[in-house]
Amino acid sequence: MQTLDTLLNLAIRHYRAGELGAAEQKFRQVLKLQPKHILALNILGIICLGSDRCDESIRLIQTALEIKPKDHQALANLALAKQRVGDLQAAIRALERSLSLVPKNVNALNSLGSLYRDTGNIARAEQCYQSALKLDPKHIDSLLNSTIVERAQGRFKNALTCALRALQIAPERVQVRYQIARTYAASGDYPNAIEWYEKALQQDPTAVDSWIGLIDVLRESGRVDECQQTLDALRSQLPQSEQAHFAQGLLHQQCGDATAAAEHFSLAIAAQPNWSKPHYYRLQLKGRVALSSELAQIDALPQTGHLEADVYRHFASATAHERRGHRDRAFNAWLMGNALKAQQSSFAISQREDLYQTVARHTRRALERDVEPLGTSDARPLFIIGMPRSGTTLAGQILSSHSQVNGYGETRAVHDMTLRAVESGNKPYPEVIESLTRDELKSLGESLLTQYANHHLQTHILDVTPTNFQHLGLIARALPQARFVHCCRNPVDTCFSIFKLPFPQGQDYAHDLTYLGQQYRAYWRLMKQWNELFSERIFNLRYEDLIANSEQQIHRLCEFLALPFEPDMLQFHEFESLVRTPSASQVRQPLYAHSVAAWRQYSNHLEPLLDALGDLVDP
């Protein structure tokens, strides 16, 4: 009969050789001889975890910890197992305990940072990665994770610096090229993003994340045919991939084929039933009422502790219940989803109001000083501005259907112009608006135009980025002939419509009803000043007027823009273009009135929003 030591040595030898079945057999024999053997319990727990026997893995590791509560490695192993079953808070607690015993564990710090990132605590995640890199500046995983958190906070230069450091240390790691590509994509530098995704795929043609990243960038840059070709290539390799089906569904949705989009979202769900995102996107297809079976599927989605998954779970539930008339359940689900999103945001109305008033003040001073218009003289640029969900996508679709208008959707072009203004004027934004010279303004205007593909054409250039309203002063100085279509909608409808969507992290006010009302008031005050300063260059398009009498409003809009009216503009919903906003499905439909004053059905839930809006609420 083999002794305990012989069995243990054999088990370890098999384990190190990757012979996990044989290792498991020997470790179980060890435990028969000594049920409280800590090493055997721990390693067997890891083996079970590797074969998705998570409950057994947790039981084995917890048994080891009952014997030796201060075993830092067992605590780290328990964290892995808890993470696998979706109990991220328990995983965090286990890793925190492990690090309290051995603080200088680089791998544990990196893992803890990733757990915090998954739960939405970006600041704490960043601290963990920085601590890991202080211990080991060449720790690749911490460098790559630092890239992710820097990118999440909009610090793209810092993110790229981290990723390029990782490239110097580990050029063989495909994830390095992938993170470089993602950083370029997030910053709006699509050509570089495509180049680096292709480099990642040359290194590893089976890397699904790189395929999906490339597909996303091709779609976002409007290269629909190339996007579809890339999707076809991925789906030929992985016909059952839920990510490929989801990406195909998204492309169909944004191109206006709701039937095909629903089919592929359904295929993604069939491949991965607990993935909440395709459930949500399938329900977003306009006019789609959740079937009883779909509602049951959504209600059964597990709570994972992973921020994005749980956010989409709540928003899918809210949409499904709203479509079936369950308003109280829908609103409660929106509350829970927004509460999770709010963990990533820090909104301060005093700072926002100060920013807007400072922008307006410096613009006003500059205009008082200017004896003639400065900047680039070009009458082609058109900007649609306003709060999100105020009809900006609809107005953009209508104008883009005109033969003399080239629509570019939502872009980062103006945001990038503000960064260039700071660099060239050597002053912070928005102070720099007032101090820019004639040559600097001309250069900014010319650079802005080059941000749009086909900018050399004689057609009008249409940017449909709603939040450009806050930069209207700088745009107006750099492009003195540019015109603006300001979309406005009932304040409560606008704010509640934002609240009903899982808006990205950049909209820091979007997840709290009081903040939404405060942001709307600040935006409205700024727009009043822009209307005073640039009254001849702003067309105020009320969503409700457009719904009530679309032909009259479109005629007025064309007159303002000096464009001939074209009857095809009334059939905007048939215009074939890529729409990359949450309204992608809605603008494929003829105009409808049921979204006007829709907030009143939920008025008993909206008191914080109504109070914050104050006198802006219609009686």
DSSP 448-496: HHHTSTTTTSSSEEEE--GGGGGGHHHHHHHSTT-EEEEEE--HHHHHH
In the predicted structure, residue 4 carries a pLDDT above the cut 70: yes
Name the strands in the sheet holding 483-488, side by side, starting at the edge strand that comes first in the sequence. 405-407, 460-463, 381-386, 483-488, 538-542
Q: pLDDT tens, 246-304?
A: 999 999 998 888 899 999 999 999 999 999 999 999 998 876 777 888 888 998 998 88
What average pLDDT score do residues 24-42 get?
A: 90
pLDDT of residue 574: 61
Q: What are phi and psi of 90, to 5 degrees?
A: -65, -40
How many whole angstroms separate alpha carbon 20 and alpha carbon 15? 6
Please give the mean pLDDT across all residues of the chain. 91
Which contiguous run of DSSP H or E holds residue 195? helix 190-203
Q: Give the count of beta carbons closer than 10 Å to the beta carbon of residue 22.
A: 15
Percent of the chain with pLDDT over 90: 69
pLDDT of residue 295: 86
Q: Which residues of 433-452 are buried (b: 16+ CB within 10 A; e: fewer)?
A: bbebeeebbbbbbebbbebb
Structure tokens given for 406: 């080239």
Q: How many CA atoms lie within 13 A of 212 on its CB side?
A: 15
Reply yes or no: is the peptide bond before residue 430 cis, omega within 30 of 0.
yes
Cα radius of gyration rounded to whole Å, the chain: 28
Structure tokens given for 210: 């790189």
Structure tokens given for 140: 């690749």
In the predicted structure, residue 40 carries a pLDDT above the cut 70: yes
Model confidence band, residue 241 (pLDDT cutoffs 50, 70, 90):
very high
Give Cβ neighbours of residue 481 (< 8 Å, ≥ 6 apart): 373, 377, 378, 379, 381
pLDDT of residue 588: 40
In the predicted structure, residue 587 carries a pLDDT above the cut 90: no
Asked if 22 and 51 count as a contact pair (C-beta separation under 8 A), the reply is: no
In the predicted structure, residue 584 carries a pLDDT above the cut 50: no
pLDDT of residue 451: 87
In the predicted structure, residue 179 carries a pLDDT above the cut 70: yes
Whether the domain at 1-102 and the domain at 356-616 fall into the same CATH topology? no
Of 77-81, 194-198, 502-506, the poorest mean pLDDT is in 502-506
Q: What is the largest CA-CA distance in the chain?
A: 101
Give Cα 609 to chain centroid, integer Å. 24
Q: What end-to-end distance do the CA atoms of the chain give, in Å?
A: 89
What average pLDDT score do residues 432-439 get?
A: 92
Give Cα 3 to chain centroid, integer Å. 57
In the predicted structure, residue 505 carries a pLDDT above the cut 70: no
Q: pLDDT tens, 135-160?
A: 999 999 999 999 999 998 889 999 99
Percent of the chain with pLDDT over 70: 95
pLDDT of residue 593: 57
More confident of the two residues 516 and 346: 516
Structure tokens given for 499: 């609240």
pLDDT of residue 11: 87
Fold that domain 1-102 belongs to in CATH: 1.25.40
Length, in residues, of the chain: 619
Angle subtended at Cα 371 by Cα 366 and Cα 377, rounded to the nearest 5 degrees? 85
Model confidence band, residue 585 (pLDDT cutoffs 50, 70, 90):
very low
In the predicted structure, residue 438 carries a pLDDT above the cut 50: yes
pLDDT of residue 570: 86
Q: How far is CA 500 from CA 233, 338, 348, 388, 591, in A?
A: 35, 9, 21, 12, 20
Structure tokens given for 196: 């680096």
Structure tokens given for 316: 């899918």
Q: Give the count of beta carbons closer than 10 Å to the beta carbon of residue 578.
A: 18
Model confidence band, residue 504 (pLDDT cutoffs 50, 70, 90):
confident
How many whole angstroms separate alpha carbon 250 and alpha carbon 255? 9
DSSP string, 264-331: HHHHHHHH-TT-HHHHHHHHHSTTPPPPHHHHHHHHTPPP-S-HHHHHHHHHHHHHHHHHTT-HHHHH
In the predicted structure, residue 486 carries a pLDDT above the cut 70: yes
What average pLDDT score do residues 88-104 get?
A: 94
pLDDT of residue 188: 84
* CATH class (in words) of the domain with range 356-616: alpha beta
Domain range annotation of the chain: 1-102, 356-616
Give Cβ neighbours of residue 143 (< 8 Å, ≥ 6 apart): 133, 162, 163, 165, 166, 169
